[in-house]
Each structure stands twice: as structure tokens, then as C-alpha cells.
Amino acid sequence: MCLREAGESVATGESQQAQQNWRYCGGQIKLWREESGVSRQRLADEAGYDYEYVKSMECGRRRPTLGLLQVADQMCGARGKLLAGQEFLNPSRRGPRSTWRSRPRQSQCSGTSRC
């Protein structure tokens, strides 16, 4: 059972959303793993992680890694469904990196507008 340990602080705002994403993605790994008959130890060995580390990722205490997602997706026959969760594990952005800027570049400023 995956429960929050005593004394663990409750995250707020953006970090709380990230932690919910970790829990959801980790839960999906666990569901797919159990459904396909793959033991946690076998997944841990194949992915190169310790059993407890995989358990903490499945429980949402740690962010599931790309490596674990790749191995779990292949071992469990998820055909990309587990890998699709990767985008929700990355830090949130306001938009695609190539289009978002906090301030316009100097060349984008007209002489009459303030940047």
C-alpha cells in the first residue's frame, strides 16, 4: 500500500499537481505490471533500479523516470501507453519552448512601446 509517510509535507500549487501526476503515472505502471504478470523485482532488475526505488515510483513518492517507463512499456506490452505519460512528468511550461518568452527580444520592441 502506498501511503504518505508521517511528517511528509503536503505540496502546494504546481508541485502538488506534479506529485499527482507522479502518483497517476506510477499507478499506471503498477496496474500494467500486475496485469501482465511482471513482478516488481523483475521490472526493477530489467530497468536497473532497486526494488524499493521502483516501489517509490509506483507509489508517487518519486518521479517515474523515462528509463523505467520505457522498460515497463516494453515488458508489459503497453505499446506506448506508459511512455505517453512522460509529458506529464516533466516540469510544466507555459507553452512550447520555441514560442514562449518571458520578455520580447529587443528587436521586437517598437520605439513607442515599453517592453
In tens digits, the chain (115 residues) has pLDDT values of 555 443 444 456 778 889 999 999 999 999 999 999 999 999 999 999 999 999 999 999 999 999 999 999 999 999 999 999 999 887 654 333 433 333 444 444 444 444 3
Residue in 97, 40, 102 with CA at minimum distance from that of residue 72: 40
Helix (H, G, I), strand (E, B) or coil at 49: coil
Helix (H) or strand (E) holding 57: helix 51-59
pLDDT at 13: 72
Residue in 101, 102, 21, 110 with CA at minimum distance from that of residue 69: 21
